[in-house]
Amino acid sequence: MLRERSFLFWTYVFPILVVSTLGIAFASKPSVRFVVDIQAEPNGQHLLQPLSSHPELSVGLHDAASCRNRLRESVSDAFVVAHASGSVEYHFDEHSEKATLAVQTVNQSIQAAAGRVDPIQTRNVATQQGMRYIDFLVPGVLGMHLLGGGLWGIGFVVVDMRIRKLLKLYAATPVRRWEFLTAIMISRLLFIFPQAILLILFSKLVFGLRLDGSVLASGLILTLGGIQFGAIGLLITSRAKTVDAASGIINLVSFPLWAFCGVFFSYQRFPEFFHPLIKILPLTPLLDSLRAVMMQGKSLVSQWPEILIILLWLMASLALASRRFRWSET
């Protein structure tokens, strides 16, 4: 594996590229800036000054046609029409959360400029920082590469050895199937911790990744996850006879896990009736327990339901792979 430059790239460089790209794209911003147009006629001029002074608003005067076109093309978040009678009209996409917030901000500024006084005094208190996208992303990327390492780094390698008749040479030795499969998994697991440490250190130094949990507990979860996906990789390719067949099976298994299990975004975004099924997929308990321990500081014991699901997938896959495994294509 070390002689293969592509292996080194996909194992150590690619995860850093993923985190760098998405970390920059979804970096936390200090404030939200809304683009709001003011329709010049019939009475928009007097709104320009109070709205221009608001730090979260970018405003400008435009005629009626330009206001409508800019909103339609999403150049602006909303536009305001001030009538001669003193009433104000807001035009925006009611299905857009950003547009709704923009209108609320504009309305508060207009009402305050007109002399409205809030009856209840409030103050902002800085509290603990919540989870940012980078804190959510790093465990997802770690889980994704455990999945890829198990399916491609173990399952695909075994198929390649079968096609090249290397497994027949092992069949002629006293080594038993379970010993060979275990050795393959252990060899791949040796790369888990350097990969995880490198990715976490990079994310900590560049993006300020927050780590509140136990390193030992996180390492144990990563180890179980690596063994689990190694066993699944051996199972789904235990009888594959061609590279194309192995690639098709691996992609068929990988895509639903990447899409549904919360690698890049929370599975809570899917309809609620999907959640029970998603929670028992092999990648979901790994990511849920890893995020809970690494980012929220929860104990390993508190994650026993997720760890139980991981162990069930691991034992079932390894047992079936050991029974179904073939040394040769025939």
Q: Residue ranges of the domains in the chain?
A: 34-113, 132-324
Write out the H or E segment, with its range, that includes residue 91.
Answer: strand 88-92
pLDDT per residue, tens digit, the chain (330 aa), is: 666 666 667 667 778 888 888 887 777 655 558 888 888 887 777 888 888 888 888 888 888 889 899 888 888 899 988 888 878 889 988 888 888 888 888 888 888 877 777 777 767 665 555 668 888 888 988 888 888 888 877 777 777 777 788 877 887 888 887 787 778 778 777 777 788 888 888 888 888 888 888 888 988 999 899 889 888 888 887 777 777 777 788 888 888 888 898 888 888 888 888 899 999 999 999 999 999 998 888 888 999 999 999 999 999 988 888 787 766 655
> Distance between CA 285 and CA 289 in Å, rounded?
6
Contact present, 58 and 34 (Cβ < 8 Å): yes
pLDDT at 306: 93
The four Cα atoms 268, 271, 275, 276 give a dihedral, to 10 degrees, of 160
Residue 174 Cα distances to 170, 171, 180, angstroms: 8, 8, 10
List strands edge to edge, sheet with 88-92. Answer: 57-62, 34-39, 78-82, 88-92
- 3-class DSSP state for residue 251? helix
Given 3-state DSSP classes, what are the helix, strand and coil percentages for the chain, each rounded to the nearest 5? Answer: 65, 5, 30
> Distance between CA 203 and CA 197 in Å, rounded?
10
> Quick one: 34-113 is in which CATH superfamily?
Periplasmic binding protein-like II (3.40.190.10)
**Quick count: other Cβ atoms within 10 Å of Cβ 138?**
29
pLDDT at 304: 92
Q: Where are the alpha helices (DSSP H) in 95-242?
A: 97-113, 133-150, 157-163, 166-171, 177-189, 192-207, 215-236
Query: What count of Cα atoms within 13 Å lies in the side-chain half-sphere of residue 78?
Result: 25
DSSP symbol at 49:
H
Q: Which two tokens stand for residue 227?
A: 């063994």
